[in-house]
Structure 1
């Protein structure tokens, strides 16, 4: 009982005390709660009164981001980054965002209701359009020192020797997280005009594809070596998804330059003027952003852009070492038809005081184009818009290349053969086992890589992709392989005014028969002249490495008079040859010859031949030499020809040398000498021919081509072997009766046999624009063309029977080509003007059809 009472007493005592304490604490809690509620309300009011917004400043016309623009709101100023992006706190919705940038009008931007991301478009100030924007003196001095110190900073010049292995991985892929998986409902009209509902699952399927694998990928390991002789690349290993043996074109692919110090940078195989070159300084404006630390070294962060602000040219960030003025890091970006990002990182080698390449990263995404992206003539290609695919999915596709050096060796002994050959590809590098590649995996988390190889290898096997590419390469050169013979497509059918329809067949044996020798030949029959023509040429391989062949030949056939042919001219496929269709002036020739063709000298194609030719003109012509008249004649000639491509890059493979970087200009030279009284030769004469071709590609997809050509014949040269400079116009009364097919580099308003020359010079300029979309699947390729020529004729009294004119005053024509309007067909229109314009107005115009066969390779 005592215990119980005591317990009760203690309980009674404890209860009121606890209540008092509890009431006191509760009062505190209530006060604290009111305090926090007050703070919460205050915070909400503040949060509602301000917003954190992200945005980007771009050019109104080009949509190119404007870097480091000044952005002011409510007396607070920030700057956009080098991609034009920014984050700003909006404290007053009623006050505008003011954006300023030199060369643009100031922009007052007011927030719109519900805006989540700000796109601020700046308009170029036309009053400053003709004014150049110059860099500040301080940054000008830094860039000047970068250029002056190239010799001490560029590894190729600063180091005696170096070599390193380089792992390069290229893929075409997309980020699956950025692709919508929804299945859309679309409506299509039936045959009777009724609407029919269909489900479009293309996005869903595409998302599933890229979740499982990449769209395409390739890998290679190369050894880069440098010494006093130059820089050499040797392929150690390579593989391509879907192919048992990688394509040589891929192995020679150079999407982005290795070095940042050359006068021009290679981007997508197109040379771009380097900002850190003497001429580049005139094209770009530079701005110091700040200084940062890289590997404990102080570097300037410098932004550059074109002086023409609305240009789509190169932009970027350079990180310049403040002590030795070397490039420590770089970002390059191009906006336009394709958007290109290139990142270079370097590692500072303290012992050698040089920044050495550490990694290259290159990304290409679709820009403001609707065409497929093709790299290296279509060797690597992915669609910018997939058929039936929603835009949000196709826009996520990109090409990515990563290049990582390893096993770097500096100033050790480096030896290699043939420095003029850029790339060596040993046969062993084409078939490395999977275990080799496992040791090189740089990203073990990317499980899609292995599936890409497995799935694409299965697809390639199922669809016989390798065989299709092999066949395509043959067709490009005009052949179709049938067992051990490649059928020559050019021999199958022809037409001209002398022979009428000409049917034939020809071909050349391939390496299934032998790697050491080949036999080419053809036979053809003309239905109008009722004559058989034929030729045979056996050849023997002297040296596989230099593609050196020795050949003998006999030909009994026809040739056009006055044509210009270079023995080293490459053969390209034409489903038809348009010019001879309307030619009626031919000569028959029976030619015995022997000749050697070789690539022994790097970057050259060489031809040397000896021939005896019996000529019979097949039109009314007499050649008068010293009052002796010739209706038939015989030549014994020697001919030397060379094509030199000094700026192209070549690859040495097990099957010979390949031109893998077609760079311009290219030079072709040919000398022909006829010897009188040797093997019954009638005349002594000489001919010198020269051609220079140049092409200027643009990242926009446009192209400018130039051809300079000249010929000089001296001695006793019959009209059959002088120059008519490729005329291609019929001598008929009206414009529409003269419609025929246009040639490639022919004078479309010049009539056949209108002009002849013993010496001439001609110049062709052609600019091709991007395709223009006129309607669904109608996207013509438009070119503007100008051609001109001058010529003279020595001893015109020697040529009897054919009336012609000469071109001392020059011949000029210009026109427009609208090619590939529909199924490869197009139209061209040319006009003749100048001193040789014709009296009848209509005769100065030429309307032609054109045809370009696109094989998709």
Structure 2
């Protein structure tokens, strides 16, 4: 018997050495998207790849090819070499048939998906239940597998200035491998209470900790990389909305295929694969497991293949009492994809280098990936829940920032991850040694235009300015900060113009009435200059610009001594409000006389009440222990403003009313492109001087030669409209813009192209009351279109616009504007 066993082992070993089992994946050669369920023929047998284009096969004859077939692609013969264990097979489209291929969803599967859509109201917890709540443990981890990183110290060959070849040793990968063997690169955890009723969602963060920070970065706590619900439409991917496959419109974009049926928790489910009808699209691909009885989603897997590869896995538990599949776990993985530019996620925590870099890719950080795991517990369904929303999606409990280590131990996995335990200690030490919290604190301040020095935040925008009237304007300004008091603050500035040889100054003391709604009451006095007919909204955000190009070219200003009393508040949900009473003494710094009721005014006084509101109905907000933060900036956004002069008050000279409106809508696409629409309109009734009319942000110099008019491009300004060319007491303007992905022209030359069209219409009723400054009316409309080539090199770019339509000028050259653009990435 033992001889029979011996010969059996010998024979089995011989067979094993005579074949190699390989793992392979089939992908599109251009997009690198896997080709699902492709046919693989070998030695007369056929097998089918998985939905991720993967398959395994034993190779016994190396001189016989694998024959790969996929509809719309060229058939490919692949020969496997001995000792090859992992193979990537790239398929090229068949140009003769690809565009003609039309793949339709099978009618049976189409009916199944239609039932999923029709039964959402019974299966989606938010629609099927009156209310529910649960706690959720979420862990975000940035890490790498040490085994995937080469620990070799690689030689790097370089040449000196004189061409001499030198060799240096690069130990970057070696050091990186040693680091990720000890601890993860980054991690943060939170426990939140999710509550829902028919009024909406509310999330309360009851515990959180973030490696390297004593106080968490609140913006990260509001980061939602993927939708919580598989039924949401639009579906959120990396905070970009996409069409959900199980929506009515989604059925027009995706094809569905029945793959199999299997049991999950003793319930029969259908396994359905979906992919975009346009195979080369970067839209969602995935698997849906559909309950055969209720037509609910019992499990879901999603994949995105693009500049980064995203894997999202959703699992559910069947709740017998409610007859409902409720979320059990959500896991999201973000890996390097097919990218042209370097990609940074969470600052520099994850960095993927360009896939088109001409040098061989030995960057160990390309092995880095991000994982988010979310696990519900303490689930209570159909429990009476009271949600105090008031426009706040996320609230953070102050006590949740100080949880002890013992609190977090109950969330530890069964298998202790030693690297996870070391990460907090390691990153806390690193953060302290590099003073990371201080740097991030500074970054936030600078983005808002300040630099903190002791009890004063220095106003960076007041230091140096330039315009054609003042020349260089040097100044100093600031505002007291929390180190002095959290209840009151004093803002101040002083400036001197070299050309006009005049001082300007202002001071604004403020008192905090209500910390929760950030309601401030302020008094202010200023003696300064203003651009004539400038369109401004009091609620516009204050963002820091190292330079503001458009004012450089302005030469027409008026002196403005203003005393005001105003209130700013975020009391109303998703709004910012501003109410002010002000008195302004106006002195035009140009040749101008306003004739009103047979009286000629060279200078005049305006006393008015102003109310402004910024309404962001689609944005989501977070309430932290310190302030309210707009965590999801969604569009459209709306700005309203009303200004009404007060007759016979503080020597007011004119009676007029101004009503202004603005809306901005930006549409980001998963491909990285974006479209935007800006609509503005305003109307002024009564006796309005030229200084307070509308001039629509012109940005073209009054010079004859084209080259003499080359200056810096503004933001949302009319580049071919000359300064002081048009004025209106009522107007409407529309700006359309589409921005494409950056184009790689050469190494480090990756411009970003945008197509822009701008239109304006205006009217003026009392044109003959304005003396001294000639101008035209916009009754016939104004049109310009152009191309922006931004970020061409080190932030510099060039734009070109052309003016056309009824107000086109006789000379072609006068209708063309060429400008320099400049974008600065502050890195925050």
TM-score by length of 1: 0.92
SS of 2:725's partner is coil
Q: Deviations over 1:441-477 (max 9, x none)?
A: 1254211112111111111111110000000100001
SS of 2:352's partner is coil
For 1:59 and 1:452, how far apart are their aligned partners in 2?
38
Residue 215 of structure 1 pairs with residue 181 of structure 2: no
Residue 509 of structure 1 contacts residue 520 of structure 1 at CA under 8 Å; is this kept in 2? yes
Residue 502 of structure 1 contacts residue 527 of structure 1 at CA under 8 Å; is this kept in 2? yes
Partner of 1:541: 512
Residue 101 of structure 1 pairs with residue 70 of structure 2: yes
The one of 144, 159, 167 aligned to 1:189: 159
The one of 194, 207, 212 aligned to 1:242: 212
CA deviation after TM superposition for structure 1 residue 614, in Å? 1.5
Residue 770 of structure 1 pairs with residue 750 of structure 2: no
Q: Deviations over 1:620-670 (max 9, x none)?
A: 111122332222222121111111111111011122211011111111111
Residue 530 of structure 2 contacts residue 560 of structure 2 at CA under 8 Å; is this kept in 1? yes
Partner of 2:483: 512
Q: 1:421-570 counterparts in 2 under 5 A?
A: 421-442=392-413, 444-570=415-541
SS of 2:392's partner is coil
For 1:252 and 1:527, how far apart are their aligned partners in 2?
47
Distance 1:842 1:273, change over 3 A: same
CA deviation after TM superposition for structure 1 residue 139, in Å? 1.1
CA deviation after TM superposition for structure 1 residue 126, in Å? 5.5
Question: CA RMSD, aligned part only?
Answer: 2.4
SS of 2:490's partner is strand
Q: 1:571-610 counterparts in 2 under 5 A?
A: 571-610=542-581
For 2:313 and 2:423, how far apart are their aligned partners in 1?
25
Partner of 1:69: 38
For 2:110 and 2:513, how far apart are their aligned partners in 1?
57
Residue 192 of structure 2 contacts residue 206 of structure 2 at CA under 8 Å; is this kept in 1? yes
For 1:605 and 1:617, how far apart are their aligned partners in 2?
32
Residue 522 of structure 1 contacts residue 534 of structure 1 at CA under 8 Å; is this kept in 2? yes
The one of 317, 331, 345 aligned to 1:361: 331
CA deviation after TM superposition for structure 1 residue 389, in Å? 10
Distance 1:449 1:105, change over 3 A: closer
CA deviation after TM superposition for structure 1 residue 380, in Å? 7.3
Residue 418 of structure 1 pairs with residue 386 of structure 2: no
Distance 1:799 1:668, change over 3 A: same
For 2:342 and 2:139, how far apart are their aligned partners in 1?
22
The one of 727, 736, 754 aligned to 1:783: 754
Q: 1:717-732 counterparts in 2 under 5 A?
A: 717-732=688-703
Residue 83 of structure 1 pairs with residue 52 of structure 2: yes
Partner of 1:325: 295
Residue 835 of structure 1 pairs with residue 806 of structure 2: yes
Partner of 2:322: 352
Partner of 1:855: 826
Q: Deviations over 1:814-844 (max 9, x none)?
A: 2232333344333222222233222222222
Partner of 1:9: none
| Bigger mean CA deviation after superposition, 836-845 or 104-113 | 104-113
Partner of 1:385: 353
Partner of 1:675: 646
CA deviation after TM superposition for structure 1 residue 190, in Å? 2.3
Partner of 1:663: 634
Residue 522 of structure 2 contacts residue 567 of structure 2 at CA under 8 Å; is this kept in 1? yes
For 1:193 and 1:728, how far apart are their aligned partners in 2?
49
For 2:667 and 2:681, how far apart are their aligned partners in 1?
21
Distance 1:470 1:124, change over 3 A: farther
Residue 54 of structure 1 contacts residue 87 of structure 1 at CA under 8 Å; is this kept in 2? yes
Residue 200 of structure 2 contacts residue 387 of structure 2 at CA under 8 Å; is this kept in 1? no
Residue 76 of structure 2 contacts residue 91 of structure 2 at CA under 8 Å; is this kept in 1? no
SS of 1:207's partner is helix
CA deviation after TM superposition for structure 1 residue 497, in Å? 1.3
Partner of 1:137: 107
Q: Deviations over 1:349-368 (max 9, x none)?
A: 11111111110100101111
Q: Deviations over 1:584-639 (max 9, x none)?
A: 11111111111111111111111111111111111111112233222222212111
Distance 1:488 1:46, change over 3 A: closer
For 1:314 and 1:807, how far apart are their aligned partners in 2?
47
Q: Deviations over 1:5-53 (max 9, x none)?
A: xxxxxxxxxxxxxxxxxxxx9xx97xx79x949x9679958975x6544
Residue 202 of structure 1 pairs with residue 172 of structure 2: yes
CA deviation after TM superposition for structure 1 residue 697, in Å? 1.6
| Bigger mean CA deviation after superposition, 403-412 or 88-97 | 88-97
Partner of 2:147: 177
Higher-Rg structure is 1
Residue 704 of structure 1 pairs with residue 675 of structure 2: yes
For 1:216 and 1:47, how far apart are their aligned partners in 2?
44
The count of aligned residue pairs is 823
For 1:229 and 1:449, how far apart are their aligned partners in 2?
39
The one of 300, 323, 346 aligned to 2:270: 300
TM-score by length of 2: 0.95
SS of 2:590's partner is coil
Residue 57 of structure 1 contacts residue 122 of structure 1 at CA under 8 Å; is this kept in 2? no
Distance 1:133 1:431, change over 3 A: same
Q: Deviations over 1:499-532 (max 9, x none)?
A: 1111111111111111111111111111221211
Residue 760 of structure 1 pairs with residue 731 of structure 2: yes
CA deviation after TM superposition for structure 1 residue 166, in Å? 0.8
Residue 641 of structure 2 contacts residue 659 of structure 2 at CA under 8 Å; is this kept in 1? yes
| Bigger mean CA deviation after superposition, 407-416 or 51-60 | 51-60
Residue 61 of structure 1 contacts residue 123 of structure 1 at CA under 8 Å; is this kept in 2? no
The one of 104, 107, 111 aligned to 2:79: 111
CA deviation after TM superposition for structure 1 residue 379, in Å? 5.5
Distance 1:443 1:733, change over 3 A: farther
Residue 646 of structure 1 pairs with residue 617 of structure 2: yes
Residue 748 of structure 1 pairs with residue 733 of structure 2: no
CA deviation after TM superposition for structure 1 residue 728, in Å? 0.8
Q: Deviations over 1:116-161 (max 9, x none)?
A: 4251414155645376532111111111111111111111121222
CA deviation after TM superposition for structure 1 residue 61, in Å? 2.4
Q: Deviations over 1:62-94 (max 9, x none)?
A: 110111123333442221101011123456656
Residue 69 of structure 2 contacts residue 76 of structure 2 at CA under 8 Å; is this kept in 1? no
Q: Deviations over 1:469-506 (max 9, x none)?
A: 00010000100111111111111111111111111111
Distance 1:42 1:464, change over 3 A: closer
For 2:438 and 2:11, how far apart are their aligned partners in 1?
73
Distance 1:754 1:351, change over 3 A: same
CA deviation after TM superposition for structure 1 residue 780, in Å? 3.3
The one of 56, 63, 78 aligned to 2:25: 56
Residue 59 of structure 1 contacts residue 124 of structure 1 at CA under 8 Å; is this kept in 2? no
For 2:96 and 2:555, how far apart are their aligned partners in 1?
59
For 1:355 and 1:380, how far apart are their aligned partners in 2?
38
CA deviation after TM superposition for structure 1 residue 768, in Å? 2.5
Distance 1:200 1:379, change over 3 A: closer
